[in-house]
């Protein structure tokens, strides 16, 4: 309990510092695990590299085998077959021996023989002197007829001496001499192993049957800084069974990479201790700020403030979430406005009738004033003149108020349906401004019309009355004079007609209620002027809203839907 109390009483800054220190210490504890994982990753990478090298060698051997097969078949049905047939017919083997080197060179093969059905050599390009000898190995290969090229020990003549070499060979039957076949092949010696080693950037050797290396090509290996790691062996068919190609790769690069990674990891963890807190705070602020803004907006939304929007920059998905929230709030506000407007519109007539009943209430002070006058007159009261002035003043004020209320509410109850016709925003603004060509002293009316605005379909008289009401309110909001901006501009939903003043402005609570019937912030107001503007906007399938003007004051905005392109009206 004492330890918990100390932690609870500790400053938040200290607790966060200790928490960050604890979190930063965790990666240091994981360094051995990370290094072990790196070792495992490099071992797997090396194994994949060996597998890849094996596939390269296999593919190259398959390519060579296919090339040997193609060239051997070409010789079995081409010039070589014709020359052998001519030689056998004419008995001219000397000329065939003389041409053997040329025929071998033309074939593109290192081994080229023609053998009869009993194994007799009818032609040998690599050892012309073997003409007439028997080649039992070639005969056995022809009879087994393998499906692909195989490795076989063949005799070749080098520098005037006959020796043995390994070759990748294939047989093909001679079409014009039944039972005869062509043996073609390419040598697999030092040069070919050198080329294979270069392809895999390692060491490729060919093991003989007893397992000793036949040829090594270490010169293509990089300098060995680590150990030469394990092998991959490729089994290739041969006349004696299988021959094995062995592939070795150096892991020196991997060993050095491991060292660099180990040191890099230690340096990275050290730097993480230094800058981790700053990066974490920055990332947390960028991530948490939109969430906090959304939370605050949700709370405002729960309180009923549908005008609240999230104005914060957010990355990727959070930005989409912010945009979706704002769009949802906008749609919700519109739906609520339409619902409220529909409810108010349906209730207005009943309200007007109820108000007619409520108008009788001021008759009480009127009656009392008259009765007071009668009593003071009958009693010949010495201050009758004062009572008379006060009473008549009360009567006149209440009568004037009743007349004004009755007139406006009667007009509201009998509000006519709009008669719509095409109009341009410019002419609507100019018509409203013309009614205030001589505004009260100290007030300047400034029309601002954006060019190329689309047309609208409106009842001109009703929209003009709405603009006049808004201008009148703006003038009353600036008793000491000021500038009123009467604007028309393009909006996403159509056209916006704006009346902006720089007066005392409206508090948020008033901005939320200002379009409700009866609500007014003026001593002499009836609370119906902006309600009428609201109804005009609704009848035109638009809406009206108010916001604070930059620098102080209020801006009333009347949104009207634009005409389709085919219904665009020429500017006035």
Which domains are present in the chain? 49-250 (3.30.450.220), 317-413 (no CATH), 421-567 (3.30.565.10)
Q: Distance of alpha carbon 245 from its chain centroid, rounded?
A: 50
Strand order in the sheet with 241-250: 121-124, 111-115, 181-187, 161-173, 150-158, 228-238, 241-250, 203-207
Confidence band of 27 (pLDDT split at 50, 70, 90): low
Note the pLDDT of residue 423: 93
Query: Which of 40-44, 184-188, 470-474, 504-508 has the lowest average pLDDT?
Result: 40-44
pLDDT higher than threshold 90 for residue 222: no
Note the pLDDT of residue 120: 87
The pTM of the full predicted model, rounded to 2 decimals, is 0.40
The neighbour count for residue 11, using CB atoms within 10 Å, is: 8
pLDDT higher than threshold 70 for residue 309: yes
Q: How far is the C-alpha of 483 from the C-alpha of 491, rounded, in Å?
A: 23
**What is the tens place of the pLDDT at every residue in 240-266?**
567 777 878 776 666 676 677 767 667
Note the pLDDT of residue 569: 46
| 552, β-bridge pairs | none
The mean pLDDT of the chain is 75
Query: Do 513 and 519 touch, CB atoms closer than 8 A?
Result: yes
Strand order in the sheet with 443-449: 443-449, 482-491, 494-500, 554-560, 543-548
Query: Which of 425-429, 524-528, 536-540 has the lowest average pLDDT?
Result: 524-528
Higher per-residue confidence, 167 vs 279: 167
Note the pLDDT of residue 555: 92
Confidence band of 225 (pLDDT split at 50, 70, 90): very low
pLDDT higher than threshold 70 for residue 323: yes
Confidence band of 425 (pLDDT split at 50, 70, 90): very high
Query: Which of 205-209, 429-433, 565-569 has the lowest average pLDDT?
Result: 565-569
**What is the tens place of the pLDDT at every residue in 80-127?**
877 787 777 777 778 777 888 888 888 888 888 888 888 888 888 888
Query: Do 502 and 482 touch, CB atoms closer than 8 A?
Result: yes
Angle between helices 384-413 and 363-378 (to 10 degrees): 160
| 285, β-bridge pairs | none
Confidence band of 567 (pLDDT split at 50, 70, 90): very low
pLDDT over 90 percentage in the chain: 11
- Type and span of the H or E element at 243: strand 241-250
What residues contact 540, with CB distance under 8 A and at least 6 apart? 418, 420, 458, 459, 462, 463, 560, 561
pLDDT higher than threshold 50 for residue 23: yes
Question: What does the DSSP assignment read for 404-444?
Answer: HHHHHHHHHHTPPPP--EEE-HHHHHHHHHHTTSSPSTTEE
**What is the tens place of the pLDDT at every residue in 48-74?**
888 888 888 888 888 888 898 888 888
Mean pLDDT of 182-186: 89
**CA dihedral (418, 423, 429, 432) positive or negative:** negative
Higher per-residue confidence, 306 vs 372: 372
Q: Which of 219-223, 338-342, 439-443, 458-462 has the highest mean predicted lDDT (pLDDT)? A: 458-462
What residues contact 141, with CB distance under 8 A and at least 6 apart? 150, 152, 169, 171, 183, 239
SS (HEC) of 156-194: EEECCEEEEEEEEEEEEECCCCCCCEEEEEEECCHHHHH
């Amino acid at each position: 309990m004492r330890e918990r109390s100390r932690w609870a009483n500790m400053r938040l800054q200290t607790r966060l510092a200790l928490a960050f220190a604890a979190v930063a210490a965790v990666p240091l504890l994981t360094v051995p695990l990370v290094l072990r994982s790196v070792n495992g990753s490099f071992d797997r990478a090396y194994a994949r590299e060996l597998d890849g090298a094996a596939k390269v060698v296999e593919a190259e051997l398959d390519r060579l085998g296919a090339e040997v097969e193609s060239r051997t078949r070409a010789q079995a049905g081409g010039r070589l077959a014709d020359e052998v047939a001519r030689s056998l017919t004419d008995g001219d083997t000397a000329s065939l021996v003389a041409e053997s080197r040329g025929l071998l060179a033309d074939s593109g093969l290192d081994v080229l023989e023609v053998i009869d059905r009993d194994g007799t050599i009818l032609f040998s390009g690599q050892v012309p002197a073997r003409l007439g000898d028997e080649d039992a190995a070639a005969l056995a290969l022809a009879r087994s007829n393998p499906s692909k090229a195989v490795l076989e020990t063949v005799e070749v003549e080098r520098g005037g001496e006959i020796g043995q070499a390994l070759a990748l060979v294939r047989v093909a039957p001679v079409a014009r001499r039944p039972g005869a076949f062509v043996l073609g092949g390419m040598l697999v010696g030092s040069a070919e192993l050198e080329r294979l080693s270069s392809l895999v950037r390692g060491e490729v050797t060919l093991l003989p049957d007893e397992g000793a290396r036949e040829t090594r090509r270490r010169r293509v290996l990089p300098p060995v800084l680590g150990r030469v790691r394990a092998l991959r062996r490729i089994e290739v068919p041969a006349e004696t069974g299988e021959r094995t190609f062995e592939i070795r790769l150096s892991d020196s690069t991997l060993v050095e990479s491991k060292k660099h990674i180990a040191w890099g990891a230690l340096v990275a963890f050290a730097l993480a201790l230094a800058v981790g807190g700053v990066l974490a705070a920055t990332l947390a602020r960028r991530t948490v700020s939109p969430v906090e803004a959304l939370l605050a907006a949700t709370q405002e939304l729960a309180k009923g403030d549908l005008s609240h929007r999230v104005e914060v920059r957010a990355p990727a998905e959070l930005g989409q979430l912010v945009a979706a929230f704002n769009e949802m709030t906008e749609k919700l506000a519109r739906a609520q406005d339409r619902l409220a407007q529909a409810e108010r519109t349906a209730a207005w007539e009943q309200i007007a009738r109820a108000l007619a009943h409520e108008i009788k209430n001021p008759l009480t002070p009127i009656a009392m004033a008259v009765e007071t006058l009668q009593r003071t007159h009958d009693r010949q009261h010495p201050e009758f003149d004062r009572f008379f002035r006060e009473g008549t003043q009360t009567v006149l004020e209440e009568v004037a108020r009743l007349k004004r209320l009755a007139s406006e509410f009667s007009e509201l109850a009998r509000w006519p349906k709009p008669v719509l016709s095409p109009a341009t925003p410019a002419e609507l603004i100019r018509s409203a401004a013309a009614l205030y060509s001589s505004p009260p002293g100290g007030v300047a009316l400034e029309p601002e019309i954006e060019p190329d605005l689309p047309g609208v379909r409106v009842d001109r008289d009703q929209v003009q009355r709405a603009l006049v009401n808004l201008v009148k309110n703006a003038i009353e909001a600036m008793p000491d004079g000021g500038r009123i901006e009467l604007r028309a501009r393009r909006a996403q939903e159509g056209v916006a007609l704006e009346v902006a003043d720089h007066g005392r402005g409206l508090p948020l609570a008033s901005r939320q209620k200002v379009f409700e019937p009866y609500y007014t912030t003026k001593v002499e107001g009836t609370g119906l002027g902006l309600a009428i503007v609201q109804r005009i906007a609704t009848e035109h399938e638009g809406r009206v809203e108010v916001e604070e003007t930059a620098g102080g004051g209020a801006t009333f905005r009347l949104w009207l839907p634009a005409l389709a392109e085919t219904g665009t009206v020429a500017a006035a």
